[in-house]
Amino acid sequence: EGSGVDYEAFFSQRARTLPENPFVHLLPLMRDPANKVLCQGVPPSVTFPLQQVSVALVDGTRVELSPEDTQLAQRYAPFAWGPLREWLLQHVRELHAPPCPHWDVAVAAGSMSSVDLAWAALVDRGDCVLIEEYSFMASLDALRSYGAELVPVAVDGNGLRPEALEQACRKLEAEGRSAKVLYTVPVGQNPTGSVLAGERYQRIYDLAKRFDFLIVEDDAYFYEQHALRDGEPSSAGAEACELPGLRLGRTFLSLDVEGRVLRLDSFSKVLAPGFRVGWVSGAGPLVKKYSALAYASSQNGCSLSIMLLGRLLQSWGRGGFEAHLRKLQSILRER
């Protein structure tokens, strides 16, 4: 379906005035060694200290960065996106199959940076943001710093309650106001640890359409859902996102026919937090605005981490990533 979302109405004043990152269009020219790049104050690549990078993995194999990769990994992050972004596009397509026709992916400098930039893109002082009544304190602190009015919604052992969400929206409507965004941590909800029941996803998404708000899906713990043991029944509503041999829960991104979802993922809980790399996915206009804000602040993270992760995931392939997740899930389940 095409999107009827008026994104300009959702963007913050700051985001509306921020132009698209001009270097996106200059990257092909800047990558050409025949061109003399004087912008950004970057030293000539011949003065970069690293020639080649080789990293030993715990299984005894190695990830090798070619001299070309190593050179790109010493530039600003957009130069190093290629391998990781290619992997992420395929991964999101296979795992979530976003029905929104204009979805996109951007590399991020970790999940907390993504949360903060989401608020920079969407929230002005006085905007109403729906939150779970118990939620991730750092995210709430960031929201308060942007002047948001937080509207708590009741949760139970199965996560956010759709009927409570509808009640909160109706109350705002009766007051002549409306919510701009729902912020939710659907899996491993912090601090309750709940997992949103499968059948609630569609009900909540339908409310987003009905009351015209966006969903920021902060799903850092998505991959830590426990793998099913042989013969174990799947959870209710598990028309699940799947990797071969794994069963993971539903996602709002997989239901997003209108382009209302900005999904935040992180490698911190899947590989290691020191990489400081994550990704955002969702409606193209939302991801594009996020990228412009990221470039104006963190420049999208550490280039060397991004390049190494891209080549690591490419070398593993889908099966290798699945094997890593199964090992992680098994260890967490036993603990």
Model confidence at 215: pLDDT above 70: yes
- Judged by DSSP in three states, 36 sits in coil
Name the pairing type of β-strands 214-218 and 179-184: parallel
Compute the half-sphere exposure of residue 333: CA atoms within 13 Å on the CB side of its CA.
13
Top-confidence residue, 231 or 270? 270
**How do residues 17-59 score in pLDDT, each as one tens digit?**
987 766 666 666 666 666 666 666 677 778 788 889 999 999 8
Average pLDDT over residues 213-231: 78
| Residue-level pLDDT at 33 | 65
Taking alpha carbons only, the member of 138, 136, 168, 137 closest to residue 153 is: 168
Tokens of 116: 């903060």
Portion of the chain with pLDDT greater than 90, in percent = 53
Query: How long, in residues, is the chain?
Result: 335
Position 203 scores a pLDDT of 98
Q: Is residue 160 within 8 Å of residue 252, measured between CB atoms?
A: no
Q: Write the single-letter amino acid at 45.
A: S
pTM over cut 0.85: yes
Phi, psi of 311, deg, nearest 5 = -70, -35
Q: What is the DSSP letter of 234?
A: P
Q: What is the mean pLDDT of residues 92-116?
A: 90
Quick check: bond before 67 cis, omega within 30?
Answer: no
User: Between 230 and 104, whose confidence is greater?
Assistant: 104
Looking at per-residue confidence, does 160 or 232 come out higher? 160
Q: What is d(CA 200, CA 111) in angstroms, rounded to the nearest whole number?
A: 24
| Mean pLDDT within 212-218 | 97
Question: What local confidence, expressed as pLDDT, does residue 335 receive?
Answer: 75
Mean pLDDT confidence for 96-121: 91
Cα–Cα distance for residue pair 210/217, rounded to 1 Å: 18
Q: How confident is the model at residue 230 (pLDDT cuts 50, 70, 90)?
A: very low
Domains by residue range for the chain, with CATH: 83-228+236-302 (3.40.640.10)
Radius of gyration (C-alpha) of the chain in whole angstroms:
21
Q: Which amino acid, 282?
A: G
Distance in angstroms (rounded) separating the CA atoms of residues 38 and 44: 9
pLDDT of 282 > 70? The answer is: yes
Closest by CA to 52, choosing from 44, 64, 40, 42, is 64
Residues 129, 148 contacting (CB under 8 angstroms): yes
Residue 298 pLDDT more than 80? no
The predicted pLDDT at position 22 comes to 65
DSSP one-letter code for 39: G
Report the range of poorest mean pLDDT among 128-137, 163-172, 174-183, 243-252.
243-252
Three-state secondary-structure class, residue 243: strand
Is the confidence at residue 164, as pLDDT, over 90? yes
Q: Residue 164: phi, psi to the nearest 5?
A: -70, -35
What 8-state DSSP symbol labels residue 275? G
Averaged pLDDT, 287-314: 87
Single-letter amino acid code for the residue at 59: D
Please measure the distance between the N-terminal and C-terminal CA atoms of the chain and give it in whole angstroms: 43
